[in-house]
Structure 1
Amino acid sequence: MVDLPNVRRLEAVGFRAWPAASVQYDGSWLIRLNAGHDSKRLNSVNPLDPSDYRDIPVRLEKAARRFADYGRPLTVRQTPLTPPQLVAHMDAEGWNAFSRSLVMSVDLVEREFGDGIDHLPIKDVGRFVDACIGIAKSDPKRKAALAEIINAIKPESGLFLFEDAEMGPTAVALVVQDNDLAGIMQFAVDERVRGRGVGKAMLDVCLRWARLRGAKKAWLQVEADNSSAMALYRGAGFSEVYSYIYRTPGA
């Protein structure tokens, strides 16, 4: 049984941790759009109340026009908060379903961190973004959009970067502290150093920093088919809270 109040809270902190440039509401449907970045989380319809299912075709058509204005395909992010009637409508219309992701959390209150050295976050957003793009092998043209998103985050955040003297950046992570919850975003490890404990060390740094600032729980989102990331997170004590998928109209 999914804990819907907990889902609502994690959805809210998730939106604050990864803010969209345009945010509009249609009833309790949250429509997030971003012209500069094609992240699905930033460009999706997010229904937030299972009981809000009036005028589904009309509202989807209105949303489609907004998405078209941004050059984006209409995309619905289907979570446990999505009305069953909307899910049934998308199923009946042959909508595609893809990118199943899990929202996972771990309790930090009783966690033992040992005597490891605290790793301080960096302040240079440009340097962090360059590292993110380099490790992910993303298009360098995305730098401005990614920097804009990070600079728009309102809760306290920490930018963590591991570097090697020869290879350069080897791991990155963004931790967003929102009251007693800490979200781990943009977590990535360079493929050249995977399997050497770098990911585990970076995750420990993130969780230690979050706990020191009062976080009682940490959460993250991960694609379900990312087996190496899933193994890392489960090994660190994370467990699934709920899952979501993205839906787009069929051909």
Structure 2
Amino acid sequence: MANSPDLYETLEIRYPPPGARGDPRPPPPALSPPCRACRQALGTAALLLLAAGLAALGTLYVQSRGELRAARAELAAVTEPLGPEHDGDTPSAIQRRQDRLGRWLQALALGWRYHRGKIYLFSVQRQPWAAAEAACAVTHAHLASVTSAEEQAYLAREARGGTYWIGLTATGVGGSWRWSDGTPYSPDQSFWAPGQPDSTDHGQWGGEGCVQIHPVGAGLWNDHNCNFSFPWVCQRDLSVP
């Protein structure tokens, strides 16, 4: 018996064209020809965005390099008098100076900010005034004292519109103002907002006897009740061991 051809070898399957009657598949969408103007516009926009991004990164890089050079120069300038003139050119004196600078550099790595021989920490937590001062003391610091218009301007700028406790508080009979780090308070070097201090009475909480940098008046001072919780600014001087 002769071998008959395999059924599958002779079977021809014809598929209906897309969209034909009985075919549930919709026809594929027609492809529009490429738009040369569209491609050019998208390419130009991408290049502009890339250029803007690179320019912004370059500006930040230049600013950070400039700030770093300034900080190094100021650190060198203000630490030099703390070395040989006072302690002598002994290995122990050099080691103490290096240890002090090492602690400063470590503090900067932990988020402290350097400015003209001092470092500052702007907290992200909120505490009453006394607890804020205690938190600064743990780091061998105090709440910030402000003794010049230049320092006031720096703190107000770095506060970026926030409210922060500083180290000024009213104590004793009559509520004499004093700085927590022992710096003498001078009315001639005070930066109160208009109408402050006003010693507002907060009822069961008492009056206002602690000072904060406040957004009203672009970072000028406002007295507030010491039991209320706010962020704070710690300050350390280079001369602190």
TM-score by length of 2: 0.26
As a proportion of its length, which structure holds more strand?
1
Whose radius of gyration is greater, 1 or 2? 2
Decide which structure has greater helix share.
2
Structure 1 length-normalised TM = 0.26
